């Protein structure tokens, strides 16, 4: 049974006077991968960032409309954005480990969010997160090496492990494979497939193949609008909108 995790209704996002997202409404379901696709500049990252209030960190960004996480208003005054971002984690295009050890990259979140009581708990969370991110075997003997000393693909899995460590409900990924080679990309795609059973995952990608491989739902954005949203197989094989069809067949991008 699928449950809706995030509901967005009539969301607009502005940067100063410029509108980047126009009246977007979407339901994002739990236990599956939702892909956001569309040409560069159409607002995919902007909309993704509005889901966990990362746009708050951009001085002239303004979000209107309604976004709810399990029914809770994400933009309510009572919502703590730091706690929200633990519940709705984010993985960026360029792996961005902290300039700390592999261990500390993972341990930081659980510690500041008070999720662990002692060193034994902390060790366990670090190991479990690295196991889930498919990185444990590669790093278990070098946990105190710098996170930045890992390869790009390993760093991206470290960032995924870091997001997982605080037991999020949703993981937002903005082009997580675009800096990776095909082997590291395949590894992350496998990982996304495994993780979807426990989290709602949203991935922005410019690769139609990747969207088709990893997602169950696809949302096509164009000029700030959500043009089409449906089952990935439907969107790719029988798009309802001409613009979607043009985009997925490579007529513009
Ligand atoms: N920090 C910002 N300040 C002002 N305008 C911005 C900012 N970030 C994005 N924009 C504008 O908002 C629009 C949407 O940008 P956004 O980055 O969300 O697109 P995108 O679909 O993620 O593109 P890409 O595929 O290239 O990553 C663009 O016109 C962009 O110039
Ligand atoms: Mg983007």
Q: Note the pLDDT of residue 251.
A: 79
* Number of other residues whose CB lies within 10 A of the CB of residue 234: 14
- Give CATH for domain 4-248: 3.40.50.300
Q: Note the pLDDT of residue 180.
A: 87
Q: Note the pLDDT of residue 84.
A: 96
What does each C-alpha distance from 18 to 14, 15, 71, 109, 221 come to in angstroms?
A: 5, 5, 29, 35, 17
Tell me the per-residue pLDDT of 66-101, one tens digit each, with 9 for 90 and over. Answer: 999 999 999 999 999 999 999 999 999 999 999 999
Q: Note the pLDDT of residue 252.
A: 66
State if residue 20 touches ligand 1 by the CB under 6 angstroms criterion. Answer: yes
Q: Note the pLDDT of residue 136.
A: 96
State if residue 205 touches ligand 1 by the CB under 6 angstroms criterion. Answer: no
State if residue 45 touches ligand 1 by the CB under 6 angstroms criterion. Answer: yes
What does each C-alpha distance from 91 to 66, 94, 114, 146, 159 come to in angstroms?
A: 23, 8, 22, 19, 7
Domain boundaries, the chain: 4-248
State if residue 83 touches ligand 1 by the CB under 6 angstroms criterion. Answer: no
- List of residues 6+ apart from 77 with CB closer than 8 A: none
Determine the Cα angle at 21 with ends 33 and 65, to 5°.
90
Run of H or E including 183: helix 182-195
Q: Which of 13, 15, 51 has most ligand 1 atoms within 8 Å of its beta carbon, as the pocket-test mutant? A: 15
Q: Give me the residues paired with residue 33 across strands.
A: 201
d(CA 216, CA 209): 13
Q: Note the pLDDT of residue 223.
A: 97
Identify the segments of the chain with pLDDT beneath 70.
1, 252-253
For residue 174, the ligand closest to its alpha carbon is 2
Closest CA to 63 of 74, 123, 168: 74
Q: Note the pLDDT of residue 31.
A: 96
For residue 41, the ligand closest to its alpha carbon is 1
């Amino acid at each position: 049974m699928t449950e809706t995790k995030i509901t967005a209704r009539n969301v607009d996002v502005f940067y100063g006077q410029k509108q980047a997202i126009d009246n977007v409404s979407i339901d994002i379901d739990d236990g599956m991968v939702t892909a956001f696709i569309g040409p560069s500049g159409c607002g995919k990252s902007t909309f993704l960032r509005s889901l966990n209030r990362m746009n708050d960190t951009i001085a002239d960004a303004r979000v209107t409309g309604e976004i709810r996480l399990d029914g809770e208003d994400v933009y309510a005054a009572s919502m703590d954005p730091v706690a929200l971002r633990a519940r709705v984690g984010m993985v960026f295009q360029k792996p961005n480990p902290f300039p700390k050890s592999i261990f500390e990259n993972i341990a930081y979140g659980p510690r500041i969010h008070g999720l662990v009581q002692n060193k034994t708990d902390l060790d366990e969370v670090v190991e479990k997160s690295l196991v889930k991110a498919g990185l444990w075997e590669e790093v278990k003997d070098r946990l105190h090496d710098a996170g930045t000393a890992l390869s790009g693909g390993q760093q991206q899995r470290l960032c995924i492990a870091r997001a997982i460590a605080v037991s999020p409900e949703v993981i937002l990924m903005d082009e997580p494979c675009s800096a990776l080679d095909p082997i590291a990309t395949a590894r992350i795609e496998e990982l996304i497939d495994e993780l979807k059973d426990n989290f709602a995952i949203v991935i922005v990608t410019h690769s139609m193949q990747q969207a088709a491989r990893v997602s169950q739902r696809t949302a096509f954005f164009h000029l700030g609008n959500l043009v089409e949203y449906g089952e990935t197989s439907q969107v790719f094989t029988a798009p309802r909108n001409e613009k979607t069809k043009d985009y997925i067949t490579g007529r513009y991008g």
